[in-house]
Amino acid sequence: MFAGNAARRNAFGDSVAKEWSAELELRGAGGEPVDLRRTLASHGVADLPPNEVDAQAGTLTTTLALGRRAATVCVSPGRKGFARVEGAGPSTGALDAVRHMLRLDADLSAFYAAAAADPELSWAAAGAGRMLRSPTVFEDVVKTICTTNCAWSATVRMTSALVDLLGAEAPDGRRAFPAAAAMAEAGEAFYRDDVRAGYRGAYLRSLAESVAEGRLDLEALDDPELGDEEVADRLLALPGCGPYATAHIMMLLGRYSRLVLDSWTRPTYARLRGRKAADRTIERRFRRYRDYAGLAFWLYLTRDWVEG
C-alpha cells in the first residue's frame, strides 16, 4: 500500500512518515460477524473523497484528520475474521476512527434475526448491513447535502474540491476532509467558482460557520439517548436538509426507522417488484423490521452490489 509513496515522501526529507500496521477484529457489539467488503460497498457516499474504495479487492484507503495532523490509512482483508489496517503518519486516534467508520460498536444481531426469516433478505444476515460512516457527523451531513438535486458527477466534483482545496494534508500528499473552520473561512466565491456548489454553497457555508462557532453541535446527534424524532427534527432544521437528506443522514447515524424514498429508490423498488408502489405500500412491506425498516429497504434495493 505505502511502498509506492516512500520515494515521494523521502524527497521532502523531514516529512517522512512512520509506517505502522494493526489488526481489527471484524465483530459487532452483539458478537455478530462483520463482512468488510459488504460494509465498504454499503452505499455510494462511502466512496466519496477522501475515501477510495476498491470494491473488488475489498479495501478502503482514506485520509483522516487527527488533531492538527492528517494520516492516510488503508483497510484491507486480513486473516479470517480480521481486517488489516496500515497507516502512514500519526497512528494515535487512527484505529479508533477506523472502528467508528466500520461501525464495530453497533449491535445488528436483532436485525439479522429478522432478516434470516425473510427469504428476500436472509443473505444479509451473513455480515451485511453496516453503513460505512465518516469520522464525523459533520462530514456525513456535508456530503449528503452535496447529493441533493444533482447528478452523481456533480456530487463527486463538489466533495473533491472541498477535500483537495481545504483539507489537511497527510505526509503522503493526500488530504483529509476539511474541518468546519476551514469551510467557514472560505468565501462565497470559493463555493461558487471552485466547488461550483450552486445554491448549496450558501447552505454549506452557513452550516460550517454554525459548527465552527459552536452554535451547532452535529456530533451530539450520535447520542443514543436522543430519540429518532428529535434527531429528525434537528436535521430538518439544518440549511439544505429536507426529508430525503434527513432520512439519508439518519441511516448513516445508525437510525434506520425511516426509509430513504427518493428519485432513485422508488423506481429501483418498482423495477425489482415489477410494478410501481405507493410510499405507504413500500413502508408496509418493511414494517415488520420496526426500527430497522429503512435498513431492510436499503439492502433489498442494493443486493446486486452489496452481496457481490
Which tens digit of pLDDT belongs to each residue from 254-284?
Answer: 999 999 999 999 999 999 999 999 999 999 9
Q: Say which residues have a Cβ less than 8 Å from residue 214's Cβ, sequence separation at least 6.
A: none
Angstrom distance (rounded) from CA 301 to CA 70: 36
Mean pLDDT of the chain: 92
Q: Domain 137-249 carries which CATH code?
A: 1.10.340.30
Domain residue ranges of the chain, discontinuous segments joined by +: 17-125, 137-249, 265-306
Q: What is the pLDDT of residues 217-253, one digit of tens each?
A: 999 999 999 999 999 999 999 999 999 999 999 999 9
pLDDT digits (tens, 9 = 90+) for 156-178: 999 999 999 999 999 999 999 99
pTM score, two decimals? 0.92
pLDDT of residue 204: 98
* 2 pLDDT higher than 60: no
Separation CA 52–CA 63 (nearest Å): 9
Instruction: Report the C-alpha gap between 308 and 53 in whole angstroms.
Output: 14
Residue 41 grid coordinates: 460497498
Selecting from 3.30.310.20, 3.50.50.60, 3.30.1490.190, 3.90.180.10, what CATH number does the domain 17-125 have?
3.30.310.20
CB 269 within 8 A of CB 285: no
| φ, ψ (nearest 5 deg) of residue 215 | -85, -15
Q: How far apart are CA 21 and CA 4, in angstroms?
A: 16
CA distance 169 to 46: 20
